[in-house]
Amino acid sequence: MPETPPENVPDTPLDLTLDAARLTARLVDFPSVSGQEKPLADAIEAALRTLPHLTVDRYGNNVVARTNLGRAERVILAGHIDTVPIADNVPSRLDEDGVLWGCGTCDMKSGIAVQLRIAATVPAPNRDLTFVFYDNEEVAAHLNGLGHVAAAHPDWLAGDFAVLLEPTDGQVEGGCQGTLRVLLRTKGERAHSARAWMGSNAIHTAAPILAKLAAYEPRKPVVDGLEYHEGLNAVRIEGGVATNVIPDSCTVTVNFRYAPDRSEEEAVAFVRDYFADCDIDEFIVDDHTGGARPGLTHPAAKAFMAAVGGLARPKFGWTDVSRFSALGVPAVNYSPGDPLLAHKADERVRASDIPIAEERLRGWLTS
Ligand SMILES: [Zn+2]
């Protein structure tokens, strides 16, 4: 069982001979809230550059390290190094029950520690390896470091299969659902509410939209063996001018979470068709990111599943596996942390789960 980690020591280079749980503690003690990842990126780069079997590249605060052994397959292990804002939970703390507490313990410095341990201890893997450490995942999509690397150096992300070490509680989570946000705007005509018949009420015109949303029956398609669960929901409604005015406009914001067997175009078409008989004045696609198929049919994925054990389950939330999917690299999520604890002030991880994930990955990469 690891000892209590030392006090905050942000200048100490990362020691990759520490076991994965202690290394996690050390990483948590390097605060790296989104936008402030440079010290941690520097430390990761410096630690990787001591490993002669890796080629190390850097772009901004994103670090990519690769083996070049000429193997038949290349797999990518990737993770974001940023965290959400600290909630009085740094430095990390290991309690007497072996639970490591602190910002990023679960999402996802335990996964980063596993990546670093594999990088340091598997010099001759059976598949070529690419390690990606990237910034700004917890903030707006246009800042995402993986997206920046994909745009500037797509060759650094070439591979046959990717594992994103986002928290999954030690289960393999395949693919991810897409997310589409649409504004449905209805139009009316203003009038004094004392003489409502002189106008037309845009909020009332929106009523059929709400009725259709309430009646929506989610589709649960099976994609590559995993059952997804779609959702169509109003997430906001805006309308009204003053309490004595018949409103001339109402906007219902709808979020469609859809399974990865639909393309982005098909998802938009579905929503458009679903509300086709409502009196909608404007249909605006406000935000859209596609899903990713689980990719579990790929041979490298099958070998991975056999090595880590258990059954794969679908990922309902959107993650960066979608970015790999867009690059043509099937990807899954796998790491020790419980995803339900991510971003919480009492974020934590069972320390003994971290080396287990490391051992399973090592087994896959060395058997
Ligand atoms: Zn995360």
Going along the chain from its start, the domains and CATH numbers come out as 20-175+292-366 (3.40.630.10), 178-289 (3.30.70.360)
Find the 296 Cα to ligand 1 centroid distance in Å: 21
Residue keyed to tokens 């209805």: 186
Q: Which of 37, 137, 338, 358 is catalytic?
A: 137
Q: Where are the alpha helices (DSSP H) in the chain?
A: 20-28, 38-49, 110-121, 145-152, 202-205, 207-215, 264-274, 299-308, 321-326, 353-366
Find the 138 Cα to ligand 1 centroid distance in Å: 7
Find the 140 Cα to ligand 1 centroid distance in Å: 13
Mean pLDDT of 344-358: 95
Give the model confidence (pLDDT) of 300-317 as tens digits. Answer: 888 899 988 878 999 888
Q: pTM of the prediction?
A: 0.82
Find the 199 Cα to ligand 1 centroid distance in Å: 50
Using CA atoms, how far apart are residues 258 and 276, in angstroms rounded to an integer? 19
Using CA atoms, how far apart are residues 78 and 327, in angstroms rounded to an integer? 14
pLDDT at 224 over 90: no
pLDDT at 141 over 70: yes
Find the 137 Cα to ligand 1 centroid distance in Å: 7
Give the model confidence (pLDDT) of 33-44 as tens digits. Answer: 999 999 999 999
7 is catalytic: no
137 is catalytic: yes
3-state secondary structure of 294: coil
The helix or strand, by DSSP H or E, that contains position 227, with its residue range, turns out to be strand 226-227
Number of H helices, E strands in the chain: 10, 19
Give the model confidence (pLDDT) of 177-199 as tens digits. Answer: 999 999 999 999 999 999 999 99
Find the 108 Cα to ligand 1 centroid distance in Å: 5
Q: What percent of the chain has pLDDT over 90?
A: 81
> What is the per-residue burial (b if ≥16 Cβ within 10 Å, else e) of 50-71?
ebebbebbbeebbbbbbbeeee
Q: What is the pLDDT of residue 12?
A: 57
Residue 101: HSE in the Cβ half-sphere, 13 Å Cα cutoff:
12
Using CA atoms, how far apart are residues 304 and 359, in angstroms rounded to an integer? 12
Q: What is the pLDDT of residue 293?
A: 86
pLDDT at 267 over 50: yes
Find the 109 Cα to ligand 1 centroid distance in Å: 9
Find the 200 Cα to ligand 1 centroid distance in Å: 47
Q: Which of 82, 160, 169, 358 is catalytic?
A: 82
Using CA atoms, how far apart are residues 61 and 344, in angstroms rounded to an integer? 25
Which tokens belong to 177? 């659902």
